[in-house]
Amino acid sequence: MTKDEGKTRPSKLPKKVQIKRAARYLITQRGIGGVSYGDIAKQAETTPANVHYHFGNKETLVNAVFQENFEAVEIVLRDIWLEPGPTLDERIMLLANYFQERFYEFNDDERGRRPWSMVARAQFEEYLLSPEIQHGIAEMSRRFEQYLAHAIKLAIGNGELRGNAPINDIVLLLTPLWYFSSLLTQHSGLKKMMRHYAAVRKTLQAAYGTTSPEKREEDLGNGPDLDTLA
């Protein structure tokens, strides 16, 4: 989402959808505590009364926005980690590419420092999160690790990783990419995030992969060109 996309232009989308989009944009940028009904109404080009008509109170709106986000992320997680076919290395790149797309929803070029993960932003305001949202974040994290472990087992089964590859250790190696990618781009930019992904892929293949060093270098070279990300 670029800097103007949160402000829903004249659209055929139902006003309720436009309000949720505006709320998601503002919460991601400012946090829950930094956003009022008036802010959301202005972003959605409507009135506070109309926001109240559709959602009642702010907590209901915030819960609806997060629930929609959880459902969307669940689809992405299943597509990346559970669909048969891709190697584990390819799945890691699918996650990197998904986060790169999310980054560009909120930033105009790779030098941008705008936050792009609503959930990562919400971690700084846990005291404002309803029990439903806290449960949703915990469940999303649990499923990420569960699906990732499944993909690692598939990689062992198809011979991409050695049979003695430690599943739990690899999960721990990869989960920081899931939890902290948004924060990393805020501090160091998109290229740094993509280099982290490349470093983890290289380390994982060197430690537990079954391909030759030459083949590993060739496969790693199939990632994005870090000098042309903008």
Domains and CATH numbers, the chain: 1-56 (1.10.10.60), 57-228 (1.10.357.10)
Residues 6+ apart with CB under 8 A from 177: 92, 95, 96, 196, 197, 200
* CA-based radius of gyration for the chain: 20
Say what the pLDDT of residue 13 is.
85
Q: What does the pLDDT read at residue 213?
A: 57
- The pLDDT score that the predictor gives to residue 12 is 78
The sign of the torsion formed by the CA atoms of 80, 228, 188, 125 equals: negative
**Is 125 within 8 Å of 30 (Cβ atoms)?**
no
Match 């003695």 to its residue by tokens. Answer: 164
pLDDT of amino acid 212: 62
Q: How far apart are CA 148 and CA 146, in angstroms?
A: 5
pLDDT along the chain (230 residues), means of 10: 48 88 96 94 95 94 97 97 95 97 94 94 91 96 97 96 97 94 94 95 95 59 50
**Res 1: pLDDT:** 41
The per-residue pLDDT for 43 is 96
Dihedral of CA atoms 34, 114, 199, 162 in degrees, nearest 10, equals: 50
Name 209's bridge partners: 161
**How far from 168 is each of 1, 164, 173, CA to CA, in Å?**
35, 12, 9
pLDDT value at position 217?
58
CA–CA distance, 52 with 66 (Å, rounded to integer): 18
